[in-house]
Amino acid sequence: MIRTNLRGPSRRVSAILVFVALLCLTATVTIAQTCEFYDHYLKWVGNCDLPGTGSSWNGLCVAVQGDFAYVGENGSMCIVDIRNPTDPVRRGTLPLPGRVLDIEVQGDYAYLDVDDIAMQIVNITAPDAPTLAGSIGTTVTGLLAVDGNLVYMVRYLPARGRNGIVVIDVTNKMAPVWLHSQYIDGFTVNSLTKKDNYLYFGAKGEFIVLNVTTPTAPSTVLRQTVNNPNSF
């Protein structure tokens, strides 16, 4: 049997190596314990068929309010009863003249951007029989946000070859009217949301915040460049 007697520096080196080995083992155990597998949380619960024309464009956008999901499709808006998530039930469908590019729901109405054709307002008080309440022609990029009686949309302004924002007054659902239109230099927006008195835009390479306390005179609060030009 070979016996080694470690003394001085050699003994200290051995002790350090043992400590490092224990530290690595502890770290490995800790990582294994904290590792999350998202398939434990994300499960397929239920589904239902949708009536859209052209399967590749079905379910373009969706908004949820209460017990119902409102799905914008290619040529229609469909209402789905989601009270039982494992067995959602298709209820009413409203035919439309094009693809629904964006949809927002507030109260008794759904607001839709239909294929750069029109902003359409749909009465959803009867889930089995939604009806068109009103519309206004637009040339937009498929983004809108609703707050009370105002709808904010991103619009392409042909005269300038750029995007801008449009504010629409929907107090009279049957006859919405233009309230304000404003061009924004270099504005290529991909996402839009509103909170309180501010509009937040995710643009190509930029994050933009507008103050819309006065809807007819939006002002830029922040315009920040992000590192990735393909962001948002």
**Closest by CA position to 102, among listed 146, 142, 141, 75:** 142
Buried b (16+ CB within 10 A) or exposed e, 90-118: ebbbbebebbbbbbbbeeebbbbbbbbbb
Beta sheet of 189-195, edge-to-edge order: 189-195, 198-203, 206-211, 219-225
pLDDT digits (tens, 9 = 90+) for 10-46: 444 343 333 334 444 444 444 444 555 656 667 788 8
At residue 6, the pLDDT reads: 43
At residue 105, the pLDDT reads: 97
Pairing of strands 118-123, 61-65: unpaired
Beta-carbon-side half-sphere exposure of residue 57 (alpha carbons within 13 Å) = 15
Domain definitions of the chain by residue range:
45-135, 138-232
Spatial separation of the C-alpha atoms in residues 30 and 7, rounded to whole Å: 34
Taking residue 60's Cβ as centre, other Cβ atoms within 10 Å add up to 17
pLDDT digits (tens, 9 = 90+) for 166-187: 899 999 999 999 999 887 766 6
- Please name the CATH architecture into which domain 45-135 falls: Beta Barrel (2.40)
- Helix (H) / strand (E) containing 69: strand 68-72
Between CA 13 and CA 3, with CA 17 as vertex, the angle to 5 degrees is: 65
- Helix (H) / strand (E) containing 187: none
Spatial separation of the C-alpha atoms in residues 101 and 9, rounded to whole Å: 72
- Helix (H) / strand (E) containing 199: strand 198-203
pTM (2 d.p.): 0.76
**Closest by CA position to 127, among listed 154, 93, 87:** 93
pLDDT digits (tens, 9 = 90+) for 123-157: 999 999 999 999 998 766 668 899 999 999 887 65
More confident residue, 40 or 86: 86
Confidence category of residue 9, pLDDT binned at 50, 70, 90: very low
At residue 228, the pLDDT reads: 60
- Which residues are 80's β-sheet partners? 69, 90
Length of the chain: 232
At residue 22, the pLDDT reads: 41
Residue with tokens 């937040």: 200
Buried b (16+ CB within 10 A) or exposed e, 206-224: bbbebebeebeebeeeebe
pLDDT at 163 over 50: yes
Terminal C-alpha separation, the chain: 69
